[in-house]
Structure 1
Amino acid sequence: MAKQKHIIPVRNGEKLELTVDSQGSSGDGICRYEGYTIFVPGGLPGDQVFAEVIKTTPRFGVTRVIERRVASPDRVEPPCPVFAQCGGCKLQDLKYEKQMEFKVGVVKDALKHIAGLDSPSIRSIPAEQTYHYRNKGSFAVQKHGGFLRMGFFKQGSHDVVSTEQCAILPDPTNEAKEWIRKLLIKHQVSVYNERRHHGLFRELVIRHSAQTNQLLIGLVTTPGEFPDEFLKDLVAKEPRGRLNVCGIVQNINSQKTNVILGNETRVLWGVGELSEKLSDLSFRLSLTSFFQVHPEQTIRLFETVAEWAKNTSGRILDAYCGVGAISLWLGQSGLRVIGIEELPQAVDDARASATANGIDSCSFQQGKVEEHIRKFKGQDIETIILDPPRKGCAEKVLQAVAEISPQRVIYVSCNPSTLARDLARLEGYRVDDITVIDLFPQTQHVETAVLLNLRDA
């Protein structure tokens, strides 16, 4: 039998009047036209737009809004002057309570269609601080017409959108970014061209401590040296002192990829780490180590995990532990935790933080989770915490979890799709609690924590 041919009711260049009825997980508006799915970037549910079709496929089309004729009742004025161009924040124009509804809906939809969990109950924890919260900024650089752009990529491209003030970053980070940008211009430091793989300066990374207000500045480069006069200005007392900079480092990245950071870091001035404090715990953070970006909401996340893990009498395995933040949060109450982390610098940070906080119930092992986790089979592991990167857990890791068979699994995820995929693979467990914690206000990104218990327990 011949395959049924999809009928596409629109053509490229056609102009349509559309009403947006929902949002996809990307944050883009979605509408239906004669049964055909059409994406409306920048559209919100309730918007009535006049738009041009710019792309068609058998499954969906994409439009460009020419005119918004009726605005959604949930639309607000975004504070960022480059919001419409920048791909960093996609929900600034949506009321915050509706942002939370959107994020819960994205998680619920993924769990239903991928994990087969129909209408799960999901708790949500909104943020009190919805702007100027982000403790780390990574800024791309690009020469354009003699002007040095420094900022974030335009949505769907590698064109940099430059702005002096990013609304989700604290003021010291924005000011430090402009300081470095002007120094690069003043001393004519060459900027990396990703097409030609030529030039020195690749990216600027700034960490900010909400507790101390200090900054750690990372200059990401190809192998090479900065001009002497640039370094002289860089380490001068001002504005470094006024900005409360604790350290300036150079990170060497020789890869011909879009990966931001390389494996080698050298200190140019001060120290190579930043100290951050959450509640009564202090953490050492190197430039390359992962740490959650919203301090206040990170505490809410850790409190949620701690509530689920508090009755653990055996040991806890914290897979993908990063700088050991969750491990140490649990360890301060006496719980015994073993953390596994691939990045050596993050493990060094975790061990240093354990010592600084006087916590001896936590230990950390360096290596890939899939290579280390199997050796814990037959040991007294009662709880396993999985906090993987966006790609989710390697299948070998989930197989090892099933073999170890802990009483409970706590899964922390920043990607609803891979979360749902992995939950479906943990067949021996039932989902008992799902909580969305908003660590990324104004963006489409979602953080979810899930509690699973053994089905036969």
Structure 2
Amino acid sequence: MQCPHFDAGECRSCPLMGVPYPRQLADKQAGVRALLDPVAGTEAPDGTDLWLDPVASAESGFRNKAKMVVTGTAARPRLGILDPRQHPRHHDGRGVDLRDCGLYEPALGATFPHLAAVITAAGLTPYDVGSRSGELKHVITTLSPDGGLMIRFVLRSTDQLPALRRAIPALLRALPHAEVVTANILPQHQALLEGEEEIHLAGDQTLTMRLNGVPLHLRPQGFFQTNTAVAARLYAEASAWLDTTDAASVWDLYCGVGGFGFQLAEVRHGDGPLPAGAPRQVWGLETSADAVAAARMTAGELGVQDRVRFAVGDATDPAHRPDGLPDAVVVNPPRRGIGEDLAGWLETSGVPHVLYSSCNATTLARDLARMPGHVPVRARLLDMFPQTGHYEVLVQLRRRD
């Protein structure tokens, strides 16, 4: 993949742009292994290579979410980023229009002309960083696997909200698959993407992100992986790996909207100790009340709320965990990792199986070093973020005999 904006120095969001994709993937695998091999070793318990082949992504057209800074004028808005060639402290608010960025899924890119037209029709004044004037800061759009859209307008205040409301019917006619439309209020002059207040304008309260047959629900301020295809593979992989164990109960820590939890709730492949289709008990924990509410909505729709349950709380706080122990724990922490306390609890708890999904091999290596009582069974890199140095790594661990 090659990008004219990268070539012109207008955008540096993809530092690996122009590097052949097979080399990107090989370099990521080598970098991750350099961090983890000294801790995890290189062999699985059966003597085979611990590392499975990496999961590749499409090189372009894979992003399901666009976070566009709005610059220019209401009559001629630019959707993209602030010009990175200017000094941050003396930025005059000039932007680079990235509506033709090749990373976005084609159906997502097709929405940008319509969003620009609505900005013009509503007379929404783009926020000017240099003068700290104007109203519209960002437009955030998410595309579901079924083609549904979530559209969010990030405003400095509610001053132009009536004009935006009047333009919504035209937006819905132009984009009939827009399932959720909101306005987010961000009054601070800070490098933030969104504020705390979300105002519903049209459609549903959540966007359905259907992965591997599971209708996950995404709320406007919720988190979801930006690479739909690789996210589906990640969740399916975790389920297949757990199928090789006798785990009948799972704790899903840092559960979000339940991406891992619902996949692990049933044995799908039938090649392990439990029969195909045997149900699992899943309990998820997440700090975001909105994410937990969304996960409970999915459980209700699937009719599994009696055995797939979710709670609000901090995974690192013992007070937020229920009594007893599960057969397996899956953790999917932010870049900082699970930390000393949670790693220490997993090490001494007696939990037989652990699945660790990480976006940062440095903190993953640190956490694994805190769990010497666990043997790595298999590991795989999944390239969630082509053209960058980022990735996702999934590691399966079992307690030493």
- Normalising by structure 1, we get a TM-score of 0.74
Q: Which of 372, 387, 411 lines up with 2:332 in the alignment?
A: 387
**Equivalent pair of 1:88/1:153 in contact (CA under 8 Å):** no
Cα distance between partner residues in 1 of 2:287 and 2:132: 28
Deviation at 1:452, TM superposition (A): 1.6
- Between the two proteins, the alignment pairs up a number of residues equal to 373
Alignment deviations for residues 385-414 of structure 1 (CA, whole Å, 9 cap, x no partner): 110112222433223323423112111011
Flag the 1:208–1:364 CA change in 2: closer, same or farther, 3 A: same
Structure 1 residue 304: Cα displacement: 1.7
User: Pick from 371, 387, 405: which aligns with 2:317?
Assistant: 371
Matched, 1:240 2:169: no
* Deviation for aligned residue 1:207: 0.9
Give the superposition deviation at 1:336: 1.0
Residue 168 of structure 1, aligned match among 103, 108, 115 = 103
Letter in 1 for 2:316: E
1:372: Cα distance to partner?
5.0
Q: Distance in 1 between matches of 2:355 and 2:158?
A: 44
**Within 2, Cα distance between the matches of 1:164 and 1:327?**
35
Change (3 A) 1:117 1:381: closer
- Aligned pairs (5 A) from 1:104-253: 104-112=29-37, 116-117=39-40, 121-127=50-56, 129-143=58-72, 148-152=77-81, 160-185=95-120, 187-193=122-128, 199-210=134-145, 212-236=146-170, 239-242=173-176, 244-253=177-186
- Which residues of structure 1 form unaligned runs of 5+? 1-77
- The CA deviation at 1:118 is 5.8
* Aligned-partner Cα distance in 2 for 1:100–1:373: 41
Shift of 1:379: 1.0
Calculate the aligned-residue CA RMSD, in Å. 2.7
State TM-score, norm by structure 2. Answer: 0.83
Counterpart residue number, 1:38: none
Partners in 2 of 1:197 and 1:427 — Cα distance?
53
Equivalent pair of 2:16/2:387 in contact (CA under 8 Å): yes
The equivalences for 1:94-113 within 5 A come to 94-112=19-37
Of residues 409, 417, 424, the one that matches 2:354 is 409
Aligned mates of 1:266, 1:374 — CA distance in 2 = 31
Q: What amino acid is aligned across from residue 311 of structure 2 in structure 1?
A: Q
Is 1:307 matched with 2:240? yes
- Percent of aligned positions that are identical: 24
Task: Give 1:363 shift.
Answer: 0.5
Task: State the alpha-carbon separation in 1 of the partners of residues 84 and 27 from structure 2.
Answer: 20
Counterparts of 1:256 and 1:342, CA distance in 2? 27
- Tell which structure's C-alpha radius of gyration is larger: 1
Q: 1:400 aligns with which of 326, 345, 363?
A: 345
Amino acid at match of 2:54: I
CA deviation after TM superposition for structure 1 residue 362, in Å: 0.8
Measure the CA separation in 2 of the matches of 1:205 and 1:134. Answer: 13
Q: 1:419 to 1:152 in 2, by over 3 A?
A: farther
**Structure 1 residue 170: deviation in Å?**
1.8
Query: Aligned letter for 2:19?
Result: L
Q: Which has the higher helix share?
A: 2
Once the 2 structures are TM-superposed, how far is the Cα of residue 425 of structure 1 from its aligned partner? 2.1
Kept after mapping to 1: 8 A contact 2:25/2:56: no
Superposed CA offset, 1:215-270 (max 9, x none): 1101122342425344322332665345x211211123345543323333221111
SS of aligned partner of 1:125: coil
- Look up the equivalent residue of 1:327 and give its one-letter code: G
Q: Which runs of 5 or more residues in structure 2 are unaligned?
A: 44-49, 89-93, 268-278
Cα distance in 2 between the residues matched to 1:198 and 1:344: 34
Q: Secondary structure at the match of 2:250?
A: strand
Distance 1:342 1:194, change over 3 A: farther
Aligned-partner Cα distance in 2 for 1:235–1:110 = 52
Cα 1:126–1:171 shift into 2, 3 Å: same
Higher strand share: 1
Contact in 1 for aligned 2:121/2:167 (Cα 8 Å): no
Cα distance between partner residues in 1 of 2:242 and 2:153: 39
Higher relative contact order (CA 8 A, sep 6+): 2
Counterpart for residue 262 of structure 2: 328
Counterpart of 1:324, as a letter, is G
